[in-house]
C-alpha cells in the first residue's frame, strides 16, 4: 500500500501538465455574441446571372458496376457474394442462439428473441435467393412464419443481383444452400418447441 505522500506526489505528477491556459489580453475582453457575429459577417446581395433550370438533367451518364470490388480485390464474384451471405448467416446464427437461450430459460423476452431470429433468418434467405435463384423465380417458403411488421421486407444487398451470372448463382447455391436448410430447420424446431411449452 502506497503512503499518502507517494499518492500525493503521483497525483501531482499526473496533474502537472494540466496547467491553466494563459489567454492574451485580446481574448479576455468579453463581448456579447450578437456583436461578434454582426461585426464578422458582411451582408451581401447575390443575384443570379442565369435563371435556374427546372428541366431534366440530360448530360449525366449512369454506369452500373455490379462487381466493383472484384477489380480491387482480384477475387471471383462468387467469393464476394458468399462472404456477404456468410456475414448474414453469422448474424442469423447469433440471433438463433439468443432465442434458444431465452426460450430454454423461459424469459419474458423469449417471444421477441424468436421473432428477431426469424427476421434475421428471413433476411439471410432473401439475400441468398437473390444471389442464387434465377431471375423471375419465386422464393419458395421464405423463412418460417411472418414477422409482425406489415408489408414486404426490405432486402439490401452489397451487389446487384441482376448482374449475377448463372455460373455464379450455381456456385453460391452449392456453397451456401446447406447452411440455409440447416438454419431454417433449426428455427422451425425452436418455434415448435416454444408452442408445445
Render 100-159 in DSSP notation, one character per residue.
HHHHHTT-TTHHHHHHHHHHHHHHHHHHHHHHHSPTTPPPSS-SSS--SS-SPPP---SS
pLDDT value of position 30: 52
pTM: 0.58
User: For residue 129, what are the contacts with CB-CB under 8 A and spacing of at least 6?
Assistant: 137, 139, 142
CA dihedral defined by 175, 181, 186, 191, rounded to 10 degrees?
140
pLDDT value of position 85: 95
The tens place of each residue's pLDDT in the chain, 197 residues long, gives: 555 555 555 544 554 445 554 544 444 455 554 454 445 444 445 444 544 444 444 444 434 445 544 555 566 788 899 999 999 999 999 999 999 999 999 899 999 999 999 999 999 999 999 999 876 565 555 544 544 445 566 778 888 888 888 899 999 999 999 999 999 999 999 999 988 87
Under 8 Å between Cβ of 103 and 110:
yes
Amino acid at each position: 500500500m502506497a503512503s499518502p505522500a507517494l499518492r500525493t506526489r503521483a497525483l501531482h505528477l499526473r496533474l502537472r501538465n494540466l496547467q491553466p491556459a494563459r489567454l492574451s489580453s485580446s481574448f479576455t475582453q468579453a463581448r456579447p455574441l450578437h456583436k461578434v457575429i454582426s461585426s464578422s459577417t458582411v451582408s451581401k446581395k447575390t443575384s443570379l446571372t442565369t435563371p435556374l433550370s427546372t428541366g431534366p438533367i440530360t448530360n449525366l451518364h449512369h454506369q452500373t458496376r455490379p462487381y466493383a470490388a472484384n477489380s480491387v480485390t482480384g477475387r471471383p464474384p462468387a467469393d464476394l457474394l458468399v462472404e456477404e451471405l456468410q456475414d448474414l448467416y453469422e448474424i442469423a446464427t447469433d440471433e438463433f442462439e439468443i432465442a434458444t437461450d431465452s426460450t430454454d430459460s423461459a424469459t419474458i423476452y423469449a417471444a421477441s428473441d424468436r421473432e428477431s431470429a426469424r427476421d434475421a433468418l428471413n433476411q439471410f434467405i432473401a439475400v441468398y435467393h437473390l444471389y442464387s435463384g434465377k431471375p423471375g423465380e419465386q422464393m419458395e417458403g421464405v423463412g418460417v412464419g411472418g414477422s409482425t411488421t406489415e408489408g414486404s421486407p426490405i432486402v439490401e444487398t452489397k451487389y446487384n443481383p441482376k448482374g449475377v451470372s448463372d455460373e455464379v448463382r450455381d456456385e453460391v447455391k452449392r456453397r451456401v444452400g446447406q447452411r440455409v436448410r440447416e438454419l431454417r430447420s433449426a428455427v422451425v424446431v425452436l418455434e415448435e418447441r416454444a408452442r408445445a411449452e
